[in-house]
Chains A and B, each alone.
Chain A
Amino acid sequence: MSQQNSSGNRDGSAGAANTGPPHSAPAKPIQIKVVLLGDAAVGKSSLVLRFVNDEFQENKEPTIGAAFLTQKVRLDDTVLKLDLWDTAGQERFHSLAPMYYRNAQAAVVVYDITRAQSLDRAKSWIKELQRQAKPNIVIALVGNKLDLVADQENEEAEDADADADADADADADTDAEHTTATEGKERQVQTSTARAYAEESGLLFLETSAKTGEGVVETFTEIAKKLDLNQIASNNQAARPGQLNSGSANVNFLSEGSQSEQRNTDGCAC
């Protein structure tokens, strides 16, 4: 009987198809595994939260272990399902990282443009990826927290007055105690330096702000563009059943599509 029950999945698949345009063979989304790496507090979780929920939290708690989120995106005519592994930057979780990047097709390595050290950390992640991850992994180097210096840079450019209160409405200073205060933040990593490094190492390079959203969607779009989607799609199909993760593409897809269709009364299987 449990066999029959599992044919509920087939119903689900029909349901999923119904949500797409009739008959035009709704392309199954291409599943892409993306891992985020980088030093603690550079904004990995914030970037993911901005990308997935379009939200920002001023005092995001440090990630424990790793968080897994998914987001579907459309690139031209292709639907992509991004499986995002948001890893913890804290040192004690370092040894777990290979588990997350091992199968990843793409990696977002994040640093904080106001903290030079975090770029060093990013570089060592990139080295590790180049040694140990899939050989054709697409890596994006991302300098985050652009909003912290954007005003300064504009003001400098415009030779404006040094009125530090200009952006007082930007955020609630009161509960910013854990983050470093907004004012007095200076860029420690020049765009040109990081870009040069990225080009030399064959990486995508972007600067972002999880707070304003600047560059966030672009990061994932750039990655998607650089990926060999045809290759991935055919690999996904060919994935052997024994492999970690092989079955889950189906399950995610089906259960999402079939939610509304499913009206099984809880039939007893025995």
Chain B
Amino acid sequence: MEQPEHQGIATTSNTSRAARKLSEHELEHLEDFHSPEWRQHSRHFLVLSSAGKPIYSRYGDEAQLSTLMSATQAIISTFADMSDPVRSISIGKHTVVFYTNGPLYLLAASDRGDPDDLLRGELQLLYSQIVSILTAAQLTKIFEQRSNFDLRQLLGGTQGIIDQFIDQLDTDFTFALGSLDTLWMRYRLRERIGKALLVARPKGLLYAMVVADMKLVTLLRPRKHSLHPADLHLLFSMATSNVFMTGEHWTPVCFPRFNDQGFLHVYIKYITSNVVLLLISADRDSFFAMNKYCEQICKDLASDDSLQRLDDAAAQRALRPYELGVGPGMLLQLYYKHKTLVQHFGTRFADSVDEAQQLRIINTYKRLRIYMTKGGQGPLRIVYYKSAANTVLAWQSSSFELFAAFAPKADVKSMIRTVNMVLEWIKSEEDHLFVINAPSY
């Protein structure tokens, strides 16, 4: 991108863009969020039909649920006629956010102070998850024909996939970033794998993707088209289910951003224990073409040691914070999103960060991101939030977004210095960090 060479804080602080510390108030209910009981707090996700029939729920405590369900129904029907439909309410410590789309009512309730925008975004993703299983066309048709249809019949067997997706929404920043997570790998190896995808491209194939733990290794795509990251997130998330670990799989999947009216067909095969090959085809009878293609790719990659090296890279999962050219120190975790490529990577957490802290940090990233992108902030580019356990910093420019967590003793100056070093390192490592010359046809 045509950015001034130096994106560092030097430029930034000389103008009025100094890093700004946020108060708890600005990030909404952070007192709650950092309370010791936070882990016991919960989020509920409910989906009902417009006739009030339960369709899906996460964290189902029956007693609580039926109260929520009937409350929801009452609220929605009360407001149904108003031009501005009800969007969120507070009940005691709960924030309840509503989202309706087509014949579905979706509701998220959180008692840990999640901002409305965060929950609403997640509800939209949950809606697209359901569409990806059934298509919007089918949803509409079913409820037109029978308004009190029990959709659970048709969603049967998907509870696990949806539960898993909702959990990943909470623990993984990827979905909120809206870009594709990439697996760190030597450029040459990535290129080698990309080449293997080109060897015997079958008729009907639209996309071929090599993915490890929801991180993209490489892909083959049509020259003139690319699938929306949100669509791929749904697929990558689904592919992490155990059900796909043995055998080859063939299933219809709807990609809502691509076409919410119909299905494409997806071939899913774990080609090593850590790496999955995902093939998207427009032709539902093309399984054996995909099966043959997969065999040829594997054979090709096994002819030197590429398959093994791919699996090794995948087993590593992600870089450690000290591998980002800064050495061991105060950096606990970092995400970097390359806006032009619409790709990002995240590091692992430093060993000292326990699971509860990890969730908090991810959650703070999400809040900071909403805060910064909400607009009205003018030139504001760097913000940070300090808690007892860590300091979280967010930095936006026209070419990247960066989120980083530091040990609590880190001061602004040293955080900025570290981030600048990381930015330099990223520039020199871009080839290995991102999927840059993926083949297209």
Give me the interface of A with B, judged by CB distance under 8 Å: 40, 48-49, 52-53, 60-69, 86, 88-92, 96, 99, 244-245, 247-248, 251-252, 255, 259, 262-266
Report yes or no: B249 in contact with A96, Cβ–Cβ below 8 A. no
Alpha-carbon gap, A62 to B299, bound state (A): 30
Residue contacts A-B, CB under 8 angstroms, 22 given: A40-B156, A49-B246, A60-B243, A61-B241, A62-B157, A62-B158, A64-B241, A65-B249, A66-B251, A67-B248, A69-B247, A69-B248, A90-B157, A91-B156, A92-B156, A96-B284, A99-B284, A251-B292, A259-B299, A259-B302, A262-B302, A263-B303
Report yes or no: A91 in contact with B251, Cβ–Cβ below 8 A. no
Return chain B residues, CB-CB under 8 Å to A263.
Answer: 303
Return chain A residues, CB-CB under 8 Å to B160.
Answer: 61-62
Return chain B residues, CB-CB under 8 Å to A245.
Answer: 288
Alpha-carbon gap, A259 to B155, bound state (A): 41
Shortest A32–chain B CB gap in Å is: 15
Return chain A residues, CB-CB under 8 Å to B300.
Answer: 266
Alpha-carbon gap, A65 to B238, bound state (A): 12
Alpha-carbon gap, A244 to B292, bound state (A): 12
Report yes or no: B288 in contact with A64, Cβ–Cβ below 8 A. no
Known: A62-B243, A64-B249, A262-B299. A91 touches B154 (CB 8 A): yes
From the candidates A68, A96, A265, name the one contacting B248 in the complex (CB within 8 A): A68
The reply on B295 being an interface residue by CB < 8 A is yes
Report yes or no: B295 in contact with A255, Cβ–Cβ below 8 A. yes
Write out, one digit per residue, whether chain B residues 44-73 have a CB within 8 A of any chain A CB (1) or not (0). Answer: 000000000000000000000000000000
Alpha-carbon gap, A251 to B296, bound state (A): 9
Shortest B88–chain A CB gap in Å is: 32
Shortest B297–chain A CB gap in Å is: 11
Report yes or no: A68 in contact with B154, Cβ–Cβ below 8 A. no
Report yes or no: B303 in contact with A68, Cβ–Cβ below 8 A. no
Interface residues of B in 250-292 (CB under 8 A from A): 250-252, 266, 284-285, 287-288, 291-292
The reply on B351 being an interface residue by CB < 8 A is no
Return chain A residues, CB-CB under 8 Å to B291.
Answer: 68, 248
Report yes or no: B249 in contact with A264, Cβ–Cβ below 8 A. no
The reply on B161 being an interface residue by CB < 8 A is yes
Alpha-carbon gap, A251 to B242, bound state (A): 27
Shortest B288–chain A CB gap in Å is: 5
The reply on B134 being an interface residue by CB < 8 A is yes
Return chain A residues, CB-CB under 8 Å to B266.
Answer: 65
Alpha-carbon gap, A49 to B285, bound state (A): 25
Known: A64-B157, A251-B295, A266-B304. A99 touches B249 (CB 8 A): no
Shortest A95–chain B CB gap in Å is: 10
Shortest B16–chain A CB gap in Å is: 53
Alpha-carbon gap, A49 to B245, bound state (A): 12
> What residue of chain A has the Cβ atom nearest to residue B161's Cβ?
A64
Interface residues of B in 131-161 (CB under 8 A from A): 133-134, 153-158, 160-161
> What residue of chain A has the Cβ atom nearest to residue B298's Cβ?
A255
Return chain A residues, CB-CB under 8 Å to B247.
Answer: 48, 52, 67-69, 86
Known: A92-B134, A266-B192, A266-B304. 4 other contacts (CB 8 A): A67-B249, A68-B291, A88-B251, A247-B292
Return chain A residues, CB-CB under 8 Å to B155.
Answer: 92
Alpha-carbon gap, A251 to B293, bound state (A): 10
Report yes or no: B153 in contact with A91, Cβ–Cβ below 8 A. yes
Report yes or no: B157 in contact with A88, Cβ–Cβ below 8 A. yes
Return chain A residues, CB-CB under 8 Å to B192.
Answer: 266
> What residue of chain A has the Cβ atom nearest to residue B295's Cβ?
A255
Alpha-carbon gap, A91 to B138, bound state (A): 14
Alpha-carbon gap, A63 to B161, bound state (A): 11
Report yes or no: A66 in contact with B246, Cβ–Cβ below 8 A. no
Return chain A residues, CB-CB under 8 Å to B244.
Answer: 64
Alpha-carbon gap, A204 to B106, bound state (A): 48
Shortest A41–chain B CB gap in Å is: 8
Report yes or no: B302 in contact with A248, Cβ–Cβ below 8 A. no
Report yes or no: A262 in contact with B303, Cβ–Cβ below 8 A. yes
Alpha-carbon gap, A96 to B252, bound state (A): 9
Alpha-carbon gap, A68 to B246, bound state (A): 9
Shortest A67–chain B CB gap in Å is: 4
Report yes or no: B303 in contact with A62, Cβ–Cβ below 8 A. no
Report yes or no: B295 in contact with A252, Cβ–Cβ below 8 A. yes
Return chain B residues, CB-CB under 8 Å to A248.
Answer: 288, 291-292
Known: A66-B249, A68-B249. A92 touches B303 (CB 8 A): no
Return chain A residues, CB-CB under 8 Å to B287.
Answer: 68
Shortest B389–chain A CB gap in Å is: 33
Known: A67-B248, A251-B292. A99 touches B299 (CB 8 A): no
> What residue of chain A has the Cβ atom nearest to residue B157's Cβ?
A62
Alpha-carbon gap, A67 to B266, bound state (A): 12
Return chain B residues, CB-CB under 8 Å to A62.
Answer: 156-158, 160, 243
Report yes or no: B251 in contact with A64, Cβ–Cβ below 8 A. yes
Shortest A153–chain B CB gap in Å is: 30
Write out, one digit per residue, whether chain B residues 209-246 have a CB within 8 A of any chain A CB (1) or not (0). Answer: 00000000000000000000000000000100111101
Write out, one digit per residue, whether chain B residues 382-407 have a CB within 8 A of any chain A CB (1) or not (0). Answer: 00000000000000000000000000
Shortest B238–chain A CB gap in Å is: 8
Shortest B257–chain A CB gap in Å is: 21
Shortest B61–chain A CB gap in Å is: 14
Alpha-carbon gap, A65 to B244, bound state (A): 11
Shortest A262–chain B CB gap in Å is: 6
Return chain A residues, CB-CB under 8 Å to B161.
Answer: 64
Return chain A residues, CB-CB under 8 Å to B302.
Answer: 259, 262
Shortest B239–chain A CB gap in Å is: 10
Return chain B residues, CB-CB under 8 Å to A255.
Answer: 295, 299
Alpha-carbon gap, A60 to B160, bound state (A): 11
Alpha-carbon gap, A28 to B287, bound state (A): 23
Return chain A residues, CB-CB under 8 Å to B158.
Answer: 62, 64
Shortest A3–chain B CB gap in Å is: 13
Highest count of chain B CB atoms <10 Å: which of A60, A68, A252: A68
From the candidates A52, A92, A247, A265, name the one contacting B154 in the complex (CB within 8 A): A92
Return chain A residues, CB-CB under 8 Å to B156.
Answer: 40, 62, 90-92
> What residue of chain A has the Cβ atom nearest to residue B160's Cβ?
A61
Report yes or no: A265 in contact with B284, Cβ–Cβ below 8 A. no
